[in-house]
Amino acid sequence: MKNIYGYVRVSTREQKEDRQMMVMSELSIPKKNIYLDKQSGKDFDRPQYKKLIKKLEKDDLVYIKSIDRLGRDYKEILEQWRILTKEKCVDIVVVDMPLLDTRRGKDLMGTFLSDIVLQVLSFVAENERTNIRQRQAEGIAAAKQRGVRFGRPSIPQPENFPELVEAWKKGRIPFYKAVESSGFSESTFYRRLRELRKINNEKLNNYQKVDF
């Protein structure tokens, strides 16, 4: 065995890598040999992982905390496992899954068993992610039916908003002052202005329809 490496990945920039890094530290992996990616599910470029792949040499050892750090889905996990073990000829240890340690059973039977275990566990990992996404979607749909609103709370419109708009349009106050006095951002100010115009147009149309 030559060098020992660790690979850490979190799926969004908001998630913390502390637990994975702590595991790498407990394994006494040199900090310079730990590669960390913070990539969203939509952007799976993983620049640090690519650097690690280029760095690896035969008989090196790579630690990952869980099997889903290798990929987003079942197919990708299997492909990365193949690249690491067959093309790069390195050993992999999945900390959370002791059966996935390629240092054990170097004979044909040991390799076969490792591959079978990998396929089962990676399928289970993907299936669990699918179930989580489904539960989240169902929870959101149920909450919307109950009237729960998502996103940022709407900023209340000041009572004098029409007067502020009128003062700005007639040049009595500058635009920045109208925005500042309303408490809105510029984009919200314009959006509320469009809503106000729509309301006024509807009122005008209704007035014109009245039969005197």
Give the closest residue to 120 by CA, choosing from 71, 70, 69, 77. Answer: 77
Neighbours of 94 (CB within 10 A): 23
Would you say 8 and 36 are in contact if contact means Cβ atoms under 8 Å apart? yes
Give the rounded distance of the alpha carbon of 80 from its chain centre. 20
Hey, what are 104's tokens?
């054990």
Rounded CA-CA distance 5/149 in Å is: 45
Token pair belonging to 41: 């599910």
**Total residues belonging to the chain:** 212
11 is catalytic: yes
Q: Which of 11, 40, 66, 181 is catalytic?
A: 11
- The H or E element containing residue 53 is helix 47-55
**Residue 92 to residue 83: CA distance in whole angstroms:** 11
Residues labelled catalytic: 11
